[in-house]
Structure formats: structure tokens, C-alpha cells
């Protein structure tokens, strides 16, 4: 196994261009598990931890451009007010040690339906920035992930990072795990209110082959909010509407049964999470937050 | 095969130095010598062993739970550069099978494999990765057979036999009184199931075998019992026992999972074959295949009682899945059969405990074995009975609590102390924790923890009680002894006591305790506990909560023998009557007139050493009706669990566990607290999280990603009240303490969940699905009266 250790982003792209089969590694919290269990024996490993350019985040026209090497710990400490759902999701990742090493970039690279950081990215219409020596392209996260552990990353490309709008309103993230910490999602749900646009963003995690937005539920609740003039009045959402929202989220899920839980449980649980997270986010909105 | 030119004799990174421990006598919370090194990462576990020129061993395992082996071709693997040996069953020079109770397990499989993960071949290489790759070059021709994966199926007459002896590995039949004529006003029935728990010790199986150049071998190893390993290794290597020397290395937890052999024979085979030291170390995934697990059980119960809540009879039919090989299944089956009714005075009982061979992973020893499974069932039954009677569940238990002089259903008289009612009364009186407002709470104090699933929605509180008990020490006629050598000498002008036993320190603290005992008995501050090895006779197993009792007694007796010699010398030289003598701070002191002579002076350069073998009073096997004085000591614990459960999501937070336990004597209070908290954590794991999921004989979750252990956020604070009622037969009156907490906590937590949700919850671990009522127990209930030997007697 060859170990490539570029010192700059340019060098990293060149290395990837020269060795398409090279597996990029940053925190190693996914890659090393696969290698230790002998499920993967890459010919080249491309260590990105010495590349400074991807370990920064910056503000760019009301959006955040976050490098693939920004750890969960830094998301939690640096961006908890600006990107609350992503910070909440980051808090549920692994243990402190894992959060100190793991990155959202890695979560994107793995493209697991259970990736904790993905639902918040979907709910806020984030884009993934992909780069090669030829140039860069931006792909909406929902188009980036194409299946379980599959994405549109080309073999000569690396993930630079992602671009996500600053929260325009309350956001929530909730995750089911059988254990009360350090657990892979049985299922999860991310939600973002966009009061300026009168929109509600959602995403179901770990209950379909990819993270999926609950489009019908979004449209339904947007209709309820518009009809009742609730964005303006900041009035309460009826219990019936909350329930219906949960049911519609359930209908968008396409879960399977596996060692972590049954399909039926996952379906029901995402409905409960949807109802609860909407009620919390709406309560925040009503409080003027 | 290449042979090494020079053979080093001991590992270059040796075991930790003999700790000379800090002050502390029996009854004091002394600091563990291995505590700081473990916390700072400096402690050397067996997986850290290293030696110049050593090779790495690896194991080829069967991917099939059941198959015939038609051929094994190792030629391609042998040709891999860096490979020093490829071995199969043909290379086992001695007995080709091993096993603690029944030698029924091939050292390396031939003709047939009976479980997924069964070892077939070994390689030794100069690099672990080379070894792993060579394994892939061994080709095995299998004929895959249908696995027998259900214990009830295994019991049927027409099911193929997995062993010559048949599929029924053990049957315990206990008849007490007459259940047929017993008349009850109220009857409750229930069926219960326990999933396959794993010991999940953190230090994987590992060790280093070093050939001695004279045909023998030294093995540095993590184990629970050096001598039973030594005997099995010698037998399979075709060597005399004294040619195989075992040295205890740093053990990273055991909980029963290190009672059976894992890589002991394998590494020695490779070492003797190559003439080089060979290290073997399983990774986490292999570890799940490399040791036995807790027996899954299906249990059917019927309890009859009078209207005022006196038990009239209990009928129980217990079916255990022993997996492919015997391991300690015999003892598990015996324990389950004898403890099936709980610590209650039951006038009539009929218990049938069956142990079956299947093609599932082999099951064997795990903390509380046999008692854990039945306690989950009998305590659920007591709650069910209380409900049917409209009685308080604790009152019902107190009313039926067994007491000294009563007889257990297996005929043995209950020895004192047996304070079951007192434990329950005190538990009931312990204050409940203050209930925190549900709104505005830190997420970490809500079900689901940091995952942010509830801010109080759907959360209900429940309280549950359970009491459990178990034997301490080996039972049913086993010659259960320990050996200790205690030597008093003078070093650097100061008296020093060396204590040598073969007792395996697996984290429980026996090393600390041995020093405490020596310090107490001999009045000397400096104590060195020598490394455990097979140069001294057996200490017996570090299991069945027995080391403090049995090895503790051996050390105490050896100290007493040394002390007698000291006093005899004092009488000789000073004319002092030994009756008035004691040793304090290294001086022989006579009652009333102070120091007679310092030990340093008395010994004058000589040593006084005594070797003692200690046996507890004998036990006896059960007769055909399951009657007999089978056990030597009984330990009891009662627990109360408080849970909060999210009814809509099925997620749980255990708020508090309170416990009362009779320990006879708190030898080291801090270590005792550790045992109780650790035991509760393991019981909590079984209640809510821990299960090896097996489908068609295959493990589905052989990793810590999907085999979930409780974290610190899952583990509640524990309130404890310790009773010290001395057992007149035991050293210092002590009782074994390691297992009772694990036994009672699972049923207490599930009882609390039932209280909160109103659901039946008759299977552990309880999954979120079960709490929200999506699916019932996964197991099919046994069909009464339709099957083989069970039907005849049930």
C-alpha cells in the first residue's frame, strides 16, 4: 500500500489525478474500520490531514463554505448558532474522540444513508463542492448521493467541502439509537424552517437507500402554514396538522429491517421524530427565535 | 520450515513487575496496584506481548455453521513468502479434541464443522498481514449441510445428531413435593426468552507461546484458570504437564469468556512446529467467534399460590441452546435447574432443564450463568402473580422468601445467613430519588440522551423489583481447591511477605485482596504478590464468584501456618506463650508487655515459607430426582430499578438502580462497589441492549458498532446498602460478590419497564419495537406436549 501525503490542495488533486484508485482519508473513522476489518485493501491511501485549505470554513454571501477537513467538534463549537441542525447532528456522532477526528466531508464521501450530517444538509439545500485538476463543480447534496454508499464523485475528483445557507430560522435534528450515546442511527430526521421563503425543509435519515426529503410532507405543512397565516401570526400548528405531517413523513420513508431495527419501527419512529421536531422548531419560531 | 537460530527464553516485554502494594488490611479500600497503569495506558495486556524474532499466528475459520469437510489444501499457503507453518488437525500430536467438562471440541476441525467460525487451520508468518493473506490461500472443500439452529428442533427424535452422544447434552430433572396434587387458588403462566449475551471483554484473546528448546513450551496468556488450560494444552500437544508452563499475562476482562480455550493450543502448536515464539491475537470481529457466549433460553413457567399469596407450586420447563460444543453447559444446566424457582420457599416444584447441541455459536460461562436466565423468568412470574393476587410485588416476595433451615427445591437445606426477606425490606425502605421536572432537562437525562428525540414527550416512569441468588464456588462434587504459598523473609532490613498463587487476576482485584489478607494475618506492611503461573499448584478458576473465598482462604491458611512457625520460634527463643502473641508492624508483640522481638531479628536471614491447599466443604451431585447438597454457598441480592421510557419511541433511560446485597464481609469496600456497579451495568446491557443476533447459525453483529454495550450515559447512579452477615464456613465470613448484581438487575429493569408501559415484555433484551408494541417476542413459543423427551416429562 502506498501512502500519499500531499501538503497542499493542488498537490492532493494532482495525486488523485495520477492515482484514481487512491482512497482519501482524513479522520479515518470510516476508512480505517474497513481496512482493519479487511474489507478494503486500497493500493493507495491519500492522506488529506496535511492539506490546510480544506480545514477552514468561511462566510460567502450569506452561505457557509465549509472544508471537508472541518471536524464535527469544530462544527459544534464554531457553527452552533449559524448551522444549528448540523451542529445538533454532529453532537450525536460517536464519542468525543470520533468527533475530534471525523468530518462532514467524510460523511459525504461515505454516503451512507445513516450519515448523521446528511439530513441537515438536505433540509437546508446544501451543495457539495467537488474538485479535480480540471476545475470545480457544485452539486446539490440530493443529487450527490445516489444510493447506499454511492455518489457522483468522479474517480479523479476529491470532495473539497460543502456550501450551506446560514440558518434563516429554527432547525432541529433528532436521531434514534438504541443506546443513549455513541450509536449509529436506526433512523433520524432533520428539519429546517425557512421563514423568509415560507418554506420547510426536511430530510429522513437511515430509512431509505439514501437520505430522502419528505417532499409531500413539506408541501403539506407549507400549505397549513400559509392557509392559517401562521408565518405572520406565529400562531400554533394544530395537533391534527402535526400528526398529519408525521404520517406523511412516514409515507416518504422506505426503510428496511436489519440488525439495528425493523422497517416498521423505523417508519413509525421517523413519523414521531418529524412531529416532535416540527413542534420544537415551531415553538422556537413562535418565541421569535 | 525455517528454524530460528537463537531462542530467547522470555518475552522482552515482560509482565508488569511484581507489585509491592500499598498499605491496607482486610475491610479497607486499598488502592489497586494495577489501577494507575490501566488508567494511563501503561498496563501490559497479553495483546501487548512482544519478543524478538516472534512470528504471528492466524486462524482459518469455517464460514459455514454446518458442513462436511472433504479436503483441505494448504500447498498454496505454504508457498507464500514469509510463511513458516501451515497446520491442520493432522499436526495435532496429542488428543485432537479439547473441552473443560467434555472433550468434544476439535482443536482443529476434521471431517465436519459444527459452527460458523470453527477453527480449521493455522498459519504462522513473520507479519500479521502475511498470515491473514496466507489464510485466503488455503482451500477447503466443503459440503454445506443444513444447520440445526433451534434447540427445540435439536431435541426432536428425527433431527440428525450433531454428536455421537445425541443432541441432548444435559437434562436436569428436579422433583420437589408433588405438583400434581398441589392445589392453588391462583395460577399464572408465562413464557420467557433470553437472547445470546456476550461477555464483550475489552482485551481480545491473545498470548505468546515460546518454545523452550527442549520440546516444551512457555505460554504467556490471558485466562481465568491457568491449570485447566495447561492440562488441555499438554494433552493435545502430547506433552507432560510440566513441559507446558503457563504464565498469566495482563487480562483485559473475562466474565466467563476466558474459561474455554481460544488460541492456547494453537499458538503452542505453531511455536513448537516453527521453533520460534508465536504470538496470536484476535481482532474484535474474530473475538466474537473465538469465545463462548451466554446461553439463550426459552422458559415456560407455571406458578400456583393460595389466595393470600403463599406459593403452592412451581412448574418450569427450561430449554437452553448450548451451541455446537459442550463448554460449561453441564454446569449451566445444573444451575438453571437448581435456581429455577428463585429464593423462595416452594413446597412443590417440578423443574426440567434441558441443554441442547445445535449449530449455533457455542455457549458457556458468563457471569451468573444459569441463574441469570431463570431469574429473569421467575421474577417476571412473581410480578405476574402479585398482579393476579392484587398484592404488592415486594410483599409477595417477602411472604415467600426462603430462610435458613428451609429446603431448596433441590433438597439442600438453606444454610445461614440467607437474609432474603431482610434484603427486600431494606430495599423497599431505601428512599426514592427525587423526581426531576421533565421540562427543561439536560438531554443526557432523558431517554435517547444526546440524540435529541424527546423533550419530555411520551415519557413515563416505572419502578420494578427483583431478587436473585446464585451459588458461590464449584458445585456438585467438584474438587474445588486453591493453593497458596506464603513466604516471610527479610529484605533490606525490613520484613517482606511474598504470596504466590495461580489465581487469575482478571480485573476483579484478587491480587489486592491477597495482599490485604497477608498484611492482616502477618502484621507486615510490605507484601509482594508474585505473578500467577503454573509453577505452583492450581488455584482453581476465577469464576463462580469463588476466588475471594477459596484462594482467599488458602492465603489466609498459609499465613496462619507461617505465623504459627514464627510463634513457635518465639516460644523457643524467648519462652513466650504463643497464645498471647501477635505481629504488629513487623514486630512480634506479646499481650500486655509490648515488643518481644522484631521479625527482622527473629528471622536472622532465614525464610519461613508455607504451602497450603485449601478445600471448602464438599458438595454432592444431584440424584435422579434432582436432589442433593449440590452447592457450598449462596449469595443473594435484591434490586430496585427506576426507569423512564419514551412510550412512542421505545427508548429508555434507567434513572437509578438501588440494591441490597449480603456480602458476609466487605473485604475491600471500593472493589465491592466496583463489582456491584459493573454487575449492574452488565445486567442492564442484557435488559436493554446486548444480544448476539444469530440467523441460520450465523452471527449478524460481530462488532461493537452493532453489539451495543451500555455507555456511561446508559448507566445510572447506583445506591447500595451492604449487609455483612458472616458465613461461619467462609474466610472472614465473606461471600462471593461478583455475580448476584448481574442476576437481579435484568429482571428489575424489565419489571420497571412493564410498570411504565403495561406491556408484557417477556424477552430480553427488550427492544424499542417491543416497547412500542410493534412486534412481540421473536422466538416461537414451544409447543407443549408435542416433542421428544420434553413431552414425556413436561
Contact of B700 with chain A, judged by CB distance below 8 Å, is answered with: yes
Indicate whether B790 pLDDT > 90: no
Cβ distance A265 to B706 less than 8 Å, yes or no, reads no
Once rounded to an integer, what is the mean pLDDT over residues B168-176?
98
Please indicate, yes or no, if residue B82 is contained in any of the structural domains. Answer: no
Please indicate, yes or no, if residue B83 is contained in any of the structural domains. Answer: no
User: How distant is the Cα of B290 from the closest Cα of chain A, in angstroms?
Assistant: 15
Cβ distance A269 to B706 less than 8 Å, yes or no, reads no
Please indicate, yes or no, if residue B663 is contained in any of the structural domains. Answer: no
Nearest chain A Cα to B653, which residue? A180
User: Between B701, B712, B769, which is nearest A265 by CB?
Assistant: B769
B144-171, pLDDT tens digit by residue? 999 999 999 999 999 999 999 999 999 9
pLDDT score of B593: 84
pLDDT score of B787: 32
Contact of B670 with chain A, judged by CB distance below 8 Å, is answered with: no
* Torsion from C-alpha of B677, B377, B767, A243, nearest 10 degrees: -120
The DSSP bridge partners found for residue A127 are A140, A163
User: Between B285, B455, B774, which is nearest A264 by CB?
Assistant: B774
| Better pLDDT: B793 or B684 | B684
Torsion region of B713: left, alpha or beta (phi above 0 gives left; psi -120 to 50 gives alpha)? alpha
Once rounded to an integer, what is the mean pLDDT over residues A83-94?
97
Whether the ipTM is more than 0.85: the answer is yes
Residue B521: which CATH number? 3.30.365.10
A201-211, pLDDT tens digit by residue? 999 999 999 99
All residues of chain B having their beta carbon less than 8 Å from the beta carbon of residue A175 are: 451-453
Nearest of B739, B514, B510, B480 to residue B635 by alpha carbon: B739
Query: Looking at chain B from residue 268 to 307, which residues have their Cβ under 8 Å from any Cβ of chain A?
Result: 283, 285
Once rounded to an integer, what is the mean pLDDT over residues B713-739?
97
Strands ordered across the beta sheet of B608-615: B526-529, B494-500, B481-491, B608-615
Q: How many CB pairs under 8 A join A and B?
A: 99
Q: Do you find a cis peptide bond into B417, omega within 30 degrees of 0?
A: yes
Nearest chain B Cα to A1, which residue? B129
pLDDT score of B127: 97
Q: Which three cell numbers stand for residue A271?
A: 413519523
User: Between A183, A261, A276, which is nearest B769 by CB?
Assistant: A261
Please indicate, yes or no, if residue B321 is contained in any of the structural domains. Answer: no
SS3 sequence of B70-89: EEEECHHHHCCCCEEEEECH
Indicate whether B367 pLDDT > 70: yes
CA distances from A98 to A93, A101, B709, B769 (A): 7, 5, 17, 28
Indicate whether B689 pLDDT > 70: yes
Indicate whether B128 pLDDT > 50: yes
pLDDT score of B26: 96
pLDDT score of B6: 38
User: How distant is the Cα of A105 from the closest Cα of chain B, in angstroms?
Assistant: 21
B533-581, pLDDT tens digit by residue? 999 999 999 999 999 999 999 999 999 999 999 999 999 999 989 899 9
Please indicate, yes or no, if residue B417 is contained in any of the structural domains. Answer: no
Query: Looking at chain B from residue 180 to 239, which residues have their Cβ under 8 Å from any Cβ of chain A?
Result: none
Cβ distance B708 to A179 less than 8 Å, yes or no, reads yes
Cβ distance A269 to B768 less than 8 Å, yes or no, reads yes
Cβ distance A180 to B772 less than 8 Å, yes or no, reads no
pLDDT score of A289: 67
The mean of the pLDDT values for chain B is 94
Once rounded to an integer, what is the mean pLDDT over residues B171-195?
98
pLDDT score of B784: 34
Q: Which three cell numbers stand for residue B90?
A: 493432522
All residues of chain A having their beta carbon less than 8 Å from the beta carbon of residue B458 are: 272
H or E element, residue B68? strand B67-73
Q: Into how many domains does chain B fold?
A: 1
Please indicate, yes or no, if residue B542 is contained in any of the structural domains. Answer: yes
Indicate whether B76 pLDDT > 90: yes
Please indicate, yes or no, if residue B465 is contained in any of the structural domains. Answer: no
Using DSSP's 3-state secondary structure scheme, residue B46 falls into helix
A244-274, pLDDT tens digit by residue? 999 999 999 999 999 999 999 999 999 999 9
Indicate whether B57 pLDDT > 90: yes
User: How distant is the Cα of A173 from the closest Cα of chain B, in angstroms?
Assistant: 7
Cβ distance B452 to A180 less than 8 Å, yes or no, reads no
B384-420, pLDDT tens digit by residue? 999 999 999 999 999 999 999 999 999 999 999 999 9
Cβ distance B714 to A36 less than 8 Å, yes or no, reads no
Contact B621, B703 (CB under 8 A): no
User: How distant is the Cα of B542 from the closest Cα of chain A, in angstroms?
Assistant: 31
User: How distant is the Cα of B443 from the closest Cα of chain A, in angstroms?
Assistant: 10
Cβ distance B450 to A261 less than 8 Å, yes or no, reads no
Q: Which of B232-246, B431-445, B636-650 has the lowest mean pLDDT?
A: B431-445
User: How distant is the Cα of B714 from the closest Cα of chain A, in angstroms?
Assistant: 6
A95-129, pLDDT tens digit by residue? 999 999 999 999 999 999 999 999 999 999 999 99
Indicate whether B319 pLDDT > 70: yes
| Confidence bin at B20 (pLDDT 50/70/90) | low
Q: Which domains are seen in chain A, by residue range?
A: 2-165 (3.30.465.10), 171-286 (3.30.390.50)
Q: Which domain holds residue B504?
A: 481-615
pLDDT score of A39: 87
Cβ distance B451 to A175 less than 8 Å, yes or no, reads yes
Torsion region of A163: left, alpha or beta (phi above 0 gives left; psi -120 to 50 gives alpha)? beta
pLDDT score of B592: 86
Once rounded to an integer, what is the mean pLDDT over residues A50-59?
97
B612-668, pLDDT tens digit by residue? 999 999 999 999 999 999 999 999 999 999 999 999 999 999 999 999 999 999 999
| Confidence bin at B21 (pLDDT 50/70/90) | low
Cβ distance A176 to B705 less than 8 Å, yes or no, reads no
Please indicate, yes or no, if residue B31 is contained in any of the structural domains. Answer: no
Cβ distance B444 to A180 less than 8 Å, yes or no, reads yes
SS3 sequence of B467-524: EEEEEECCCCCCCCEEEEEEEEEEECCEEEEEEECCECCCCCCHHHHHHHHHHHHHCC
Once rounded to an integer, what is the mean pLDDT over residues A49-76?
97
Q: Which three cell numbers stand for residue B412?
A: 439442600
Give the integer Cα–Cα distance in Å for B166 and B671.
44
B interface mutation test: which of A179, A271, A272 has the most B CBs within 10 A? A179
pLDDT score of B18: 54
pLDDT score of A37: 84
Amino acid at each position: 500500500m502506498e501512502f500519499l501525503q500531499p501538503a497542499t490542495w493542488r498537490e492532493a488533486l494532482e495525486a488523485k489525478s495520477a492515482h484514481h484508485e487512491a482512497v482519501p482519508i482524513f479522520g479515518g473513522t470510516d476508512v480505517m474500520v474497513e481496512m482493519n476489518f479487511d474489507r478494503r485493501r486500497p493500493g493507495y491511501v491519500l492522506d488529506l490531514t496535511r492539506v490546510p485549505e480544506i480545514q477552514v470554513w468561511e462566510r460567502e454571501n450569506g452561505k457557509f463554505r465549509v472544508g471537508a477537513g472541518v471536524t464535527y467538534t469544530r462544527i459544534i463549537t464554531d457553527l452552533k448558532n449559524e448551522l444549528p441542525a448540523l451542529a445538533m447532528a454532529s453532537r450525536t456522532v460517536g464519542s468525543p474522540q470520533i468527533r475530534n477526528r471525523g468530518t462532514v466531508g467524510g460523511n459525504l464521501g461515505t454516503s451512507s444513508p445513516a450519515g448523521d450530517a446528511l439530513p441537515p444538509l438536505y433540509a437546508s439545500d446544501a451543495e457539495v463542492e467537488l474538485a479535480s485538476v480540471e476545475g470545480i463543480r457544485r452539486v446539490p447534496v440530493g443529487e450527490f448521493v445516489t444510493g447506499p454508499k454511492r455518489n457522483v464523485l468522479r474517480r479523479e475528483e476529491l470532495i473539497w467541502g460543502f456550501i450551506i445557507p446560514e440558518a434563516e430560522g429554527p432547525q432541529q435534528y433528532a436521531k434514534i439509537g438504541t443506546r443513549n450515546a455513541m450509536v449509529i442511527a436506526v433512523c433520524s430526521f432533520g428539519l429546517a424552517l425557512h421563514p423568509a421563503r415560507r418554506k420547510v425543509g426536511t430530510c429522513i435519515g437511515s430509512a431509505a437507500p439514501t437520505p430522502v426529503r419528505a417532499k409531500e410532507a413539506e408541501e403539506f405543512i407549507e400549505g397549513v402554514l400559509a392557509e392559517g397565516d401562521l408565518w405572520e401570526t406565529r400562531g400554533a400548528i394544530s395537533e391534527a396538522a402535526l400528526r398529519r405531517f408525521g404520517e406523511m413523513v412516514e409515507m416518504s420513508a422506505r426503510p428496511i429491517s436489519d440488525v439495528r431495527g425493523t422497517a416498521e419501527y423505523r417508519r413509525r419512529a421517523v413519523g414521531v421524530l418529524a412531529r416532535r421536531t416540527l413542534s420544537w422548531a415551531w415553538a422556537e419560531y413562535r418565541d421569535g427565535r | 520450515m525455517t528454524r530460528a537460530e537463537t531462542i530467547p527464553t522470555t518475552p522482552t516485554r515482560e509482565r508488569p513487575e511484581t507489585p509491592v502494594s500499598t498499605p491496607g488490611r482486610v475491610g479497607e479500600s486499598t488502592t489497586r496496584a494495577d489501577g494507575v497503569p490501566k488508567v494511563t495506558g501503561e498496563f501490559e495486556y497479553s495483546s501487548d506481548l512482544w519478543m524478538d524474532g516472534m512470528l504471528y499466528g492466524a486462524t482459518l475459520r469455517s464460514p459455514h455453521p454446518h458442513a462436511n469437510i472433504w479436503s483441505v489444501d494448504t500447498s498454496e499457503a505454504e508457498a507464500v513468502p514469509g510463511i513458516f507453518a501451515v497446520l491442520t488437525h493432522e499436526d495435532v500430536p496429542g488428543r485432537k479434541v479439547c473441552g473443560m467438562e467434555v472433550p468434544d471440541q476439535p482443536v482443529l476441525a476434521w471431517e465436519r464443522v459444527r459452527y460458523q467460525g470453527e477453527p480449521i487451520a493455522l498459519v504462522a508468518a513473520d507479519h500479521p498481514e502475511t498470515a491473514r493473506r496466507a489464510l485466503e490461500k488455503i482451500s477447503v472443500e466443503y459440503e454445506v449441510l443444513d444447520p440445526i439452529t433451534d434447540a427445540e428442533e435439536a431435541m426432536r427424535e428425527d433431527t440428525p445428531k450433531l454428536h455421537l452422544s445425541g443432541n441432548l447434552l444435559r437434562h436436569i430433572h428436579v422433583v420437589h413435593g408433588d405438583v400434581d396434587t398441589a392445589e392453588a387458588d391462583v395460577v399464572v403462566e408465562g413464557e420467557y426468552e433470553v437472547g445470546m449475551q456476550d461477555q464483550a471483554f475489552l482485551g481480545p484473546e491473545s498470548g505468546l507461546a515460546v518454545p523452550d528448546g527442549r520440546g516444551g513450551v512457555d505460554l504467556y496468556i490471558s485466562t481465568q484458570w491457568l491449570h485447566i488450560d495447561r492440562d488441555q494444552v499438554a494433552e493435545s500437544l502430547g506433552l507432560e504437564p510440566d513441559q507446558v508452563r503457563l504464565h498469566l499475562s495482563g487480562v483485559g476482562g473475562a466474565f466467563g469468556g476466558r474459561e474455554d480455550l481460544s488460541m492456547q493450543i494453537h499458538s503452542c502448536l505453531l511455536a513448537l512446529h516453527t521453533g520460534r515464539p508465536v504470538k496470536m491475537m484476535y481482532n474484535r470481529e474474530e473475538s466474537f467467534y473465538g469465545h463462548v457466549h451466554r446461553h439463550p433460553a426459552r422458559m415456560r413457567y407455571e406458578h400456583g399460590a393460595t389466595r393470600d399469596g403463599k406459593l403452592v407450586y412451581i412448574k418450569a420447563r427450561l430449554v437452553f441452546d448450548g451451541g455446537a460444543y459442550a463448554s460449561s453447559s453441564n454446569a449451566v444446566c445444573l444451575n438453571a435447574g437448581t435456581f429455577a424457582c428463585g429464593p423462595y420457599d416452594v413446597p412443590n416444584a417440578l423443574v426440567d432443564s434441558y441443554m441442547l447441541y445445535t449449530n449455533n455459536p457455542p455457549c458457556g460461562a458468563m457471569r451468573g450463568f444459569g441463574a441469570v436466565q431463570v431469574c429473569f423468568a421467575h421474577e417476571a412470574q412473581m410480578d405476574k402473580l402479585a398482579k393476579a393476587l392484587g398484592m404488592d410485588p415486594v410483599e409477595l416476595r417477602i411472604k415467600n422468601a426462603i430462610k435458613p433451615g428451609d429446603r431448596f427445591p433441590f433438597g439442600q437445606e438453606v444454610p445461614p445467613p440467607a437474609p432474603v426477606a431482610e434484603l427486600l425490606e431494606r430495599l423497599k425502605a431505601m428512599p426514592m430519588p427525587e423526581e426531576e421536572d421533565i421540562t427543561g432537562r439536560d438531554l443526557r437525562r432523558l431517554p435517547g440522551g444526546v440524540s435529541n428525540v424527546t423533550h419530555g414527550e411520551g415519557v413515563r416512569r416505572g419502578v420494578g423489583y427483583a431478587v436473585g441468588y446464585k451459588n458461590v464456588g464449584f458445585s456438585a462434587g467438584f474438587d474445588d481447591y486453591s493453593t497458596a504459598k506464603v513466604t516471610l523473609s527479610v529484605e533490606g532490613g525490613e520484613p517482606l511477605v511474598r504470596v504466590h498463587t495461580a489465581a487469575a487476576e482478571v480485573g476483579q482485584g484478587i491480587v489486592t485482596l491477597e495482599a490485604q489478607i497477608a498484611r492482616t494475618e502477618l502484621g507486615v506492611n510490605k507484601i509482594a504478590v508474585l505473578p500467577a503461573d503454573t509453577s505452583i499448584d492450581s488455584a482453581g478458576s476465577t469464576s463462580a464468584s469463588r476466588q475471594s473465598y477459596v484462594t482467599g482462604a488458602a492465603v489466609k491458611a498459609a499465613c496462619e501456618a507461617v505465623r504459627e512457625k514464627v510463634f513457635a520460634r518465639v516460644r523457643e527463643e524467648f519462652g513466650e506463650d504463643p497464645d498471647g502473641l501477635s505481629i504488629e508492624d513487623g514486630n512480634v508483640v506479646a499481650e500486655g508487655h509490648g515488643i518481644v522481638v522484631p521479625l527482622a531479628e527473629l528471622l536472622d536471614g532465614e525464610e519461613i515459607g508455607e504451602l497450603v491447599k485449601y478445600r471448602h466443604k464438599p458438595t454432592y451431585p444431584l440424584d435422579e430426582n434432582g436432589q442433593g447438597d449440590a452447592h457450598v454457598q449462596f449469595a443473594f441480592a435484591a434490586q430496585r430499578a427506576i426507569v423512564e421510557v419514551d412510550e412512542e419511541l421505545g427508548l429508555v433511560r434507567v434513572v437509578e438502580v438501588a440494591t441490597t446485597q449480603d456480602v458476609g464481609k466487605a473485604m475491600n469496600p471500593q472493589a465491592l462497589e466496583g463489582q456491584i456497579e459493573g454487575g449492574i451495568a452488565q445486567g442492564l446491557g442484557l435488559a436493554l441492549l446486548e444480544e448476539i443476533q444469530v440467523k441460520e447459525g450465523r452471527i449478524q453483529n460481530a462488532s461493537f458498532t452493532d453489539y451495543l454495550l451500555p455507555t456511561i450515559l446508559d448507566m445510572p447512579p447506583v445506591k447500595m446498602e451492604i449487609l455483612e452477615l458472616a458465613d461461619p464456613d467462609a474466610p472472614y465470613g465473606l461471600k462471593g460478590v461478583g455475580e448476584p448484581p448481574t442476576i437481579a438487575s435484568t429482571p428489575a429493569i424489565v419489571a420497571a419497564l412493564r410498570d411504565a408501559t403495561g406491556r408484557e415484555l417477556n424477552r430480553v433484551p427488550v427492544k424499542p419495537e417491543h416497547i412500542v408494541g410493534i412486534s412481540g417476542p421473536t422466538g416461537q413459543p414451544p409447543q407443549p406436549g408435542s416433542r421428544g423427551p420434553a413431552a414425556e416429562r413436561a
